[in-house]
């Protein structure tokens, strides 16, 4: 894997990859997620030679039905298709886990596309519950791991 740089971004700079990788049927300006501009939210970009190859967003948010105040949610994680499988996603995810742990997080969770569940399982996540459908997006699992 070539050398990469991770940097914090404003939410707007995540939307192009959210569009291209995750939701090509939506325009980038439609990819504003609730909490994108919350004070605790962190958006990270992964760059190689100045080109943005990946993004991930991290929100202080408990899993559905959980009373915890120490859970963080991973959302909008995307790596350009030709760059997937090279370790960039794992690097982004590790940076998110590190940030959450440094800020009192005890768990990280996400709604993972079924097709990405192997990636998350390989990095210590477990599936909670049954597969579910996000309308217009596809099948997902709720997945989480301790920090």
pLDDT of residue 136: 83
Instruction: Look at the alpha carbons of 120, 121, 125, 127 in this order and tell me if their dihedral is positive or negative.
Output: positive
pLDDT of residue 28: 76
Counting as low any pLDDT under 70, the low residues of the chain are none
pLDDT of residue 29: 76
pLDDT of residue 135: 87
* Element containing residue 51 per DSSP (H, E): strand 51-60
pLDDT of residue 30: 82
User: Is residue 113 helix, strand or coil?
Assistant: strand
Query: What predicted TM-score, i.e. pTM, was given to this entire model?
Result: 0.95
Residues 6+ apart with CB under 8 A from 12: none
Q: For the segment 96-116, what is each residue's pLDDT rounded down to a tens digit?
A: 999 999 999 999 999 999 999
């Amino acid at each position: 894997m070539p050398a990469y740089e991770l940097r914090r971004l404003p939410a707007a700079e995540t939307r192009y990859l959210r569009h291209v990788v995750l939701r090509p049927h939506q325009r980038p300006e439609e990819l504003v997620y609730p909490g994108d501009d919350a004070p605790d939210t962190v958006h990270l970009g992964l760059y190689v030679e100045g080109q943005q190859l990946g993004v991930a967003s991290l929100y202080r948010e408990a899993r559905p039905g959980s009373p915890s105040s120490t859970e963080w949610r991973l959302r909008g994680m995307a790596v350009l298709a030709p760059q997937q499988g090279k370790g960039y996603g794992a690097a982004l995810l590790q940076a998110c886990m590190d940030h959450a742990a440094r800020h009192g997080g005890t768990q990280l969770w996400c709604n993972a596309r079924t097709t990405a569940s192997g990636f998350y399982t390989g990095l210590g996540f477990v599936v909670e519950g049954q597969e579910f459908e996000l309308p217009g997006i596809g099948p997902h699992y709720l997945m989480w791991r301790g920090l």
